[in-house]
Amino acid sequence: MKPLWKEAGLTQKEYDLLLQHLGREPNPTETALYGVMWSEHCGYKNTRPLFKNFPTTGPRILQGPGENAGIVDIDDDQVITFKVESHNHPSAIAPFQGAATGVGGIIRDILAMGAKPIGVLNSLHFATPKGKGHTKWLISEVIRGIGDYGNCIGIPTIGGEVRFAETYRGNPLVNAMCVGLMNKSEIQTASAEGPGNSLMIVGNLTGRDGIGGASFASKELDETNQEDRGAVQVGDPFMEKLLIDACLEVFAKDFVVGVQDMGAAGIISSTSETASKAGNGVEIDVSLVPTREAGMSPAEIMISESQERMLLIVKQGREDEVNAIFHKWDLHAVVIGNVTNDGFLRVKEGDVTVAEIPAASLTDAPIICRVGKVPDYLSKTQSFDESSVSLPDDMNATLQKLVSSPNIASRRWVYRQYDHMVQTNTVVRPGGNTGVLRIKGTQKAVTFSTDANGRYCYLNPKEGSKIVIAEAARNHIASGALPIAVTDGLNFGNPEKPEIFYQLEQSILGISEACRVLDTPIISGNASLYNETPDQGAIYPTPVIGMAGLIKNVEHITTKPFKRAGDVVFQVGDFSNEIGASEYLEVIHGKISGDVPKIELALEKRTQDFVLNAIQKSIINSATDIGDGGLAIALTECLYETKFGASIEIPESSYRLDALLFGEAQSRFLLSVAPDNMKTFQSYAEQSNIPISKLGIVNSSGNLRVRYQGESVIEQDVTTLESMNEATFPEMMR
């Protein structure tokens, strides 16, 4: 029989450290509390040393990592707060509830900052479904869970992404992002200030659902995980809607000095974190906690992850007023303890003390310093020779295959299940470069996106991660927004394996370098490790980048589709001969190989600044970045949902034709410019020392015609391409 500390997921070294903190043997309740708080999911034991590389400050950053979410100044005394978090393991075994409660949890993180949630996004990664099997069911349930929760709660889903790779078959990734808006004066913090102030649990009842969720998320998935269904929380979006409204009303009354969401590890996490942050202690009586099940032990009550609950630190003497507001909303608001000045987290059951622990020790999980090893596969993949791949005989057929491939096909089937117009602030709907929300009563808008590319990060963890940041920023630039900050969701395999730790470390270094150069500090985030299964092994290293941008004048909002016949089409940036790591190489040639495209961050920054300035000078009619599938795919996407066609001439080059059409060379945009503005645009590019290529003209033909060296290489009816692009997802899910 395992000793209790092993059952709780602690190692021998960790148990020895626990003994030092307590100066005695822990009882079973104390052991359980340390087990969840020192899990990887709560304690970030493997990642905390690496987080020091992140740039986290800047002139707009009011709150960086360390709170429930980061905060960014958007001028006029207004701020936005946002964060991304994963719910991968729960979604793998109970996809509807796993995805739904992932949305609910990230919404509460934003609420805990004092903000009204104004939008949610997601980043979903699956294997391509085969037949009517498990994967198809999983995809459908995840999307239904996200849609049901967000739709019921009345928060628009304004953007996101869905990507496919075989590596996610056993371990899908479900990352949710939420954004909130408030005035500076409304900011709340997660700190248990003021000895004598009350701890109030508000919202839902506490049950046995979600017990052990943090520990479950800190181990690999295998065939035994069906036994962990009880570790998956159960969501109630209608309760959450009431909780949001009640909390915002209470916050407006200045009754509260601290707020914390009850997410991973529930009461023990929220109380110990707020106490240690303030340098105080707390005393809790679990017999006062409203429960939905009889006979719950103190440990079960303390670590339950039942949803729709918050911890409020309420000013002494204001408890009845807080209770009255929550009672009006038909919610519980119960005093379960108080702040103390002795630094201990003390848990009582009536008159009996069942746990007494230094609060700060719970939130200071022991750090594990690991050393990475370059994975063996990289020597093979990076020796890829582009000359070993022959040119396709038919570029028309190649384009058709790409537009209908799972990673490029339209996601309309997905986002039609989400309400993206509720709250009536959505300016650009899902499917554009970014989600765009206007700020009512101002000329401002804010942009949000989620971006990832696991294949890039697998083939070159550091450079691939740089590209993910750069592409995210290009999406905001193409929307007319200045990129201002980042939240990251780090999804990786088992860090105890040196090759996986190498991926994690290199990815963080790449993200950090790109964020410094592009001036997008990291203000919040989440690390989800142990994403692997015995059959599939580890997932691709998949850092998900949630980015925010600011548009100071809504007249500068720019979208992807071409706007009128006669406009001139330009590529900003240079072509290259690179096809390694591309969507084209995988879809057309069946190879996941090669190095990622080269990226020069200084050039990337100059290019982005040039395009944004051109948009703000009102000389750009449409814009998109050139990413997956290269120039040819960008052209098709600019023609969808229009009546237009385009006549394009690829400049003479020594490069491969497939690289010119489908290569993913970096630092590129596809723009359209009115003829009257063409010379101004060209002159501005020359002054800025930015390479541009005039490609052709938008016309009314409804056809995409691409010529190279005097010959037609692509001639396609746009309606046909769009139909193929739209059909893939519905057919895949039929």
Please identify which of the residues 21, 87, 134, 589 carries the catalytic annotation.
87
Same domain, 172 and 247: no
**Any catalytic annotation for residue 134?**
no
Cα separation, 325 vs 309, whole angstroms: 15
Dump pLDDT digits (tens) for 592-643: 999 999 999 999 999 999 999 999 999 999 999 999 999 999 999 999 999 9
Q: What percent of the chain has pLDDT over 90?
A: 92
Please identify which of the residues 41, 125, 476, 556 carries the catalytic annotation.
41
Q: Does residue 421 carry a pLDDT above 90?
A: no
How much is the average pLDDT of 92-105? Answer: 94
Looking up residue 647, the CATH number of its domain turns out to be 3.90.650.10
Q: What confidence tier does 96 reach under pLDDT thresholds 50, 70, 90?
A: very high
Dump pLDDT digits (tens) for 468-479: 999 999 999 999
Q: Which of 522, 557, 592 is the last residue before a domain boundary?
A: 557
Cα separation, 160 vs 176, whole angstroms: 9
DSSP string, 557-575: ---SS--STTPEEEEES--
How much is the average pLDDT of 570-576? Answer: 98
Q: What percent of the chain has pLDDT over 70?
A: 97
Cα separation, 545 vs 203, whole angstroms: 31
Same domain, 597 and 699: yes
Dump pLDDT digits (tens) for 498-531: 999 999 999 999 999 999 999 999 999 999 999 9
Residue with tokens 């969501």: 235
Looking up residue 444, the CATH number of its domain turns out to be 3.30.1330.10
Paired strand residues for 258: 313
Strand order in the sheet with 482-491: 426-428, 435-438, 445-451, 542-551, 482-491, 522-528
pLDDT at residue 130 in the model? 84
Q: Which of 557, 585, 605 is the last residue before a domain boundary?
A: 557
Cα separation, 233 vs 160, whole angstroms: 23
**Any catalytic annotation for residue 21?**
no
Same domain, 154 and 103: yes
pLDDT at residue 222 in the model? 57
Q: What confidence tier does 223 reach under pLDDT thresholds 50, 70, 90?
A: low
Q: Which domain holds residue 19?
A: 1-38+190-365
Q: What confidence tier does 213 reach under pLDDT thresholds 50, 70, 90?
A: very low
Q: What confidence tier does 227 reach under pLDDT thresholds 50, 70, 90?
A: very low
pLDDT at residue 228 in the model? 47
Of residues 598, 550, 551, 593, the one with CA closest to residue 573: 598
> Is residue 698 domain-resident?
yes
> Is residue 49 domain-resident?
no
Same domain, 346 and 428: no
**Spatial CB neighbours of 523, under 8 Å, sequence gap ≥ 6:** 56, 61, 63, 64, 65, 69, 70, 71, 72, 82, 485, 486, 487
Same domain, 541 and 583: no
How much is the average pLDDT of 432-450? Answer: 97
Same domain, 620 and 482: no
Instruction: Output the average pLDDT for the chain.
Output: 95
Same domain, 587 and 729: yes
Dump pLDDT digits (tens) for 403-414: 999 999 999 999
Same domain, 354 and 374: no
Terminus-to-terminus CA distance in the chain, angstroms? Answer: 48
Same domain, 358 and 376: no
* Side chain identity at residue 672, one-letter code: S
Same domain, 456 and 528: yes
How much is the average pLDDT of 363-392? Answer: 95
Same domain, 209 and 298: yes
Dump pLDDT digits (tens) for 26-42: 999 999 999 999 999 89
Q: Does residue 229 carry a pLDDT above 50?
A: no
